[in-house]
Amino acid sequence: MNILDEQIKLVAMARQNTLELKAQRDALLEDWNKDHQELLDELTQSQEGVVGAEDYLRELVLQDYAETGNKAPAIGVGVREVTKLEYDTSTAFTWAIEHRMALKLDVSGFEKIVKVSPLDFVRVYQEPQATIATDLTKVTD
């Protein structure tokens, strides 16, 4: 047996060991979840309650800000003004082209075109890449 065959067997055994450990973990987690379902349900409800309470608090803070302009209405809460932009993307793209702004190359689109219609400045070559089969069980037998 050569070194390549030995390494294939090693990878196959390592994968199998990992699968067995994951199966053990999953079984233990399933048992734990069953035994502690009440706790898990309480946790889910609590998390939903936190989300609802936070959403309502944000509403109250924004309502106070709208009424008073105060960005720090109470300790632990505040208002941050964020600049937002809204525009038609096709109009923005046309403007960018007219103003000769650097636009990002659409690599995927470019490579599809080059594969069909090669360009002089593009070198096309083959590069070997090692692959490993997903199922190596036949090797460990």
DSSP per-residue codes, 84-103: -----HHHHHHHHHHTT---
Confidence at residue 90, expressed as pLDDT on a 0 to 100 scale: 85
Confidence at residue 56, expressed as pLDDT on a 0 to 100 scale: 94
Nearest in space to 58 (alpha carbons), one of 87, 79, 44, 72: 79
Q: Give CA–CA dist 71/91, Å, rounded.
A: 35
Confidence at residue 59, expressed as pLDDT on a 0 to 100 scale: 92
Q: Give CA–CA dist 46/34, Å, rounded.
A: 19
Return the percentage of the chain with pLDDT > 90, whole number: 60
Could you report the per-residue pLDDT of 12-37, keeping only the tens digit for each? 999 999 999 999 999 999 999 999 99
Q: Which residues pair with 13 in a beta bridge?
A: none
Confidence at residue 141, expressed as pLDDT on a 0 to 100 scale: 66
pLDDT tier for residue 83 given thresholds of 50, 70 and 90? confident
Annotate 18-47 with b (16+ C-beta within 10 A) or e (fewer): eeeeeeeeeeeeeeeeeeeeeeeeeeeeee
With a cut of 80, say whether residue 60 has pLDDT above it. Answer: yes
pLDDT greater at residue 98 or residue 2: 2
Q: How many CB atoms lie within 10 A of CB 139?
A: 14
